[in-house]
């Protein structure tokens, strides 16, 4: 009887070994994979929507003062060229309007992205100059036959300005490089998005509750946002693309383009941090709920 009591006391004193929670380890591993995929997908998304996006590039460059400088340079070059034919015009004469110039510049950017050898629509450019030149010559009382004489040289002058500023060897090489990776970046982005959804689904199946799913998903987004933020800051403090071309206007446009990319990186990083933070807060609601029930 005494021995039996001693055995019972020993069983009571013996510490209980906590049960292992294999699903916690699986969730952490899945979250690690989710974070890696999120970072890769985020980088691919930034590249796809900025560097590889001709519309983004055109819209960004139109906001730079160098475009106005290039526009003024174009009209000045036309006036100087036409003066060689004995035609004197005011320095503020517009042979290409601002709207026409921006439209031509957009076409040049799209052709650069497409890898076309002819980046300028010479026929379209010729029609623009011809229309504006006809009005100026008629006002001066000069013979309309002079238009045919000067039209081709003037068109070549404008085309050369576009080529010198936007299609020099350095920029063409840069454009060819980024265009060659377009397909790979698109594939990485699509596969990454599918993987994010798949890994998120696995975590939900393992956790079997939304609160735990929000917790691990939030951690993944927070880490991804922090990594993108660090990359953006590192990108800001480096001069990786400074003076990629000796052309002043082209280099200024490139720096404006890079600044817009960094702004997009910052926006994406902040967005991921906010989403991650909200998800983690929702995940903690489960603990608060259990604590409240125990308190009652």
pLDDT, tens digit, for every residue of 4-56? 554 555 454 444 544 545 567 888 899 999 999 999 999 999 999 998 898 89
**pLDDT attached to residue 162:** 82
Q: Are residues 88 and 114 in the same domain?
A: yes
Residue 11 lies in a domain: no
Q: What average pLDDT does the segment 135-156 reach?
A: 74
Tens-digit pLDDT profile for residues 255-281: 888 889 999 999 999 999 999 999 999
Tens-digit pLDDT profile for residues 180-217: 888 899 999 999 999 999 999 999 999 888 888 999 99
Tens-digit pLDDT profile for residues 90-105: 777 777 888 888 898 8
d(CA 139, CA 226): 63
Q: Are residues 218 and 141 in the same domain?
A: no
Domain end point (choices 142, 168, 194): 168
Looking at the structure of the chain, the number of domains it has is: 2
When mean pLDDT is compared across 113-117, 138-142, 209-213, the lowest value belongs to: 138-142
Residue 63, SS3 per DSSP = coil
Q: Are residues 157 and 234 in the same domain?
A: no
Helices (H), the chain: 2-13, 22-49, 54-62, 65-83, 98-114, 122-140, 145-166, 169-180, 182-207, 210-237, 248-295
Sign of CA dihedral 143, 149, 152, 154: negative
Q: Are residues 129 and 157 in the same domain?
A: yes
Q: Are residues 221 and 162 in the same domain?
A: no
The domain of 236 spans 23-52+181-284
Residue 3 lies in a domain: no
């Amino acid at each position: 009887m005494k021995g039996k009591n001693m055995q019972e006391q020993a069983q009571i004193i013996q510490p209980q070994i906590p049960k292992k929670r294999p699903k916690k380890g699986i969730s952490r591993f899945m979250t690690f994979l989710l974070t890696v995929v999120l970072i890769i997908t985020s980088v691919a998304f930034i590249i796809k929507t900025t560097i590889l996006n001709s519309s983004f590039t055109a819209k960004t460059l139109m906001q730079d003062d160098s475009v106005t400088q290039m526009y003024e340079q174009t009209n000045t070059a036309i006036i100087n060229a036409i003066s060689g034919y004995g035609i004197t015009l005011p320095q503020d004469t517009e042979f290409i309007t601002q709207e026409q110039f921006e439209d031509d510049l957009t076409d040049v950017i799209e052709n650069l992205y497409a890898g076309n050898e002819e980046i300028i629509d010479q026929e379209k450019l010729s029609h623009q100059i011809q229309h504006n030149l006809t009005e100026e010559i008629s006002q001066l009382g000069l013979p309309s036959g002079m238009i045919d004489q000067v039209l081709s040289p003037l068109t070549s002058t404008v085309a050369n300005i576009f080529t010198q500023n936007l299609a020099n060897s350095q920029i063409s090489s840069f454009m060819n490089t980024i265009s060659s990776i377009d397909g790979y970046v698109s594939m990485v982005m699509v596969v990454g998005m599918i993987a994010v959804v798949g890994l998120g689904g696995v975590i939900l199946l393992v956790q079997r509750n939304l609160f735990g799913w929000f917790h691990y998903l939030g951690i993944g987004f927070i880490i991804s946002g922090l990594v993108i933020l660090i990359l953006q800051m590192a990108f800001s403090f480096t001069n990786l693309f400074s003076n990629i071309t000796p052309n002043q206007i082209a280099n200024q446009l490139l720096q404006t383009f890079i600044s817009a990319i960094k702004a997009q990186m910052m926006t994406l990083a902040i967005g991921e941090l906010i989403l991650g933070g909200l998800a983690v807060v929702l995940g903690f609601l489960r603990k608060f709920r259990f604590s409240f029930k125990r308190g009652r």
